[in-house]
Amino acid sequence: MKEQLYTLVKVQKIETETSNIKAELGQVSKKLEKLDDELHAFEQALADEESSFDELTKKYRDFESDAQTNLSSVDKTKVKLRSVKTNKEYQALLKEIEDQKAKNSKIEDQMLECLERLDELEKSIAKKKQDHVELSEQLKSEKGIIAQDVEQKKKRLVELDMAREEMVGMIEPKLLEKYNTTKSQQAGGLAVASVKNAVCYGCNMNIPPQMYNELHRRDALMFCPHCHRILYWDDSG
């Protein structure tokens, strides 16, 4: 029984390491997702600026064509001015030209604003593109490191799985069944607990002296009266 229990403890250690590695792998995929999100957010910000730039360029061209139309109206009005008969008509046309010019000056102001904003955007886009190259490189190297780590962990999992199979094969089916049932009842997953100085290391409670003595003397399967884990005598000192 003693040998069997020690083998069972080894199985338990393997299972603990396995589940730790699996949890770490879960964290790794979350980390990878986060890195991808980061890059994606950056690319989105860049795309937003690029589309603002395109919109603004279009707006600038619209202003340009408005100004052009306006200028030709001014020219037409000037032509009309040559053939007016009355002073009243003349004054009205002059007023019209003034209004058209005022309108154009407003458009020119807007065009200037557009140009300033376009200039800012152009600089910001260029900077973002440069940063994007750096960020991509950085993420690529981080991902490379993570991939190596994942590969090592997966290799270790295969090793652990093989070792577990071998150990499990050496355990009596009835004991193995008892182990699995106990494990499923434990929140922490540990089914076997060592006993040292009359303390169960599964729940840190004292086991009755009689039971402790028995555990010493008899080579039998025993359970902690508090946490119901399978007990084994730890004589490692």
Which tokens belong to 224? 């902690």
Give burial (CB, 10 Å; 0-12/13-18/19+) of 133: exposed
CB of 183 to Zn ion, least distance (A): 14
CB of 206 to Zn ion, least distance (A): 9
* Pairwise CA distance, residues 226 & 206, whole Å: 9
Which residue's CB is nearer to Zn ion, number 129 or number 226?
Answer: 226
Which residue's CB is nearer to Zn ion, number 125 or number 225?
Answer: 225
CB of 175 to Zn ion, least distance (A): 18
CB of 232 to Zn ion, least distance (A): 12
Task: Tell me how far the alpha carbon of residue 219 is from its chain's centroid.
Answer: 52
- Location of structure tokens 């499990």: 168
Which residue's CB is nearer to Zn ion, number 93 or number 203?
Answer: 203
CB of 224 to Zn ion, least distance (A): 3
- Catalogue the long-range contacts made by 28-37 (C-beta closer than 8 Å, 24 or more residues apart): 28/146, 28/149, 28/150, 28/153, 31/146, 32/143, 32/146, 35/139, 35/142, 35/143
CB of 217 to Zn ion, least distance (A): 20
Which residue's CB is nearer to Zn ion, number 107 or number 193?
Answer: 193
Which residue's CB is nearer to Zn ion, number 63 or number 201?
Answer: 201
* Pairwise CA distance, residues 133 & 138, whole Å: 9
Which residue's CB is nearer to Zn ion, number 14 or number 224?
Answer: 224
Q: What is the 3-state secondary structure (H, E, C) of 166-204?
A: HHHHHCCHHHHHHHHHHHHHCCCCCCEEEEECCEECCCC
Give the footprint of Zn ion on this chain (CB under 5 A). Answer: 200, 202-203, 224, 226-227
Which tokens belong to 160? 């652990």
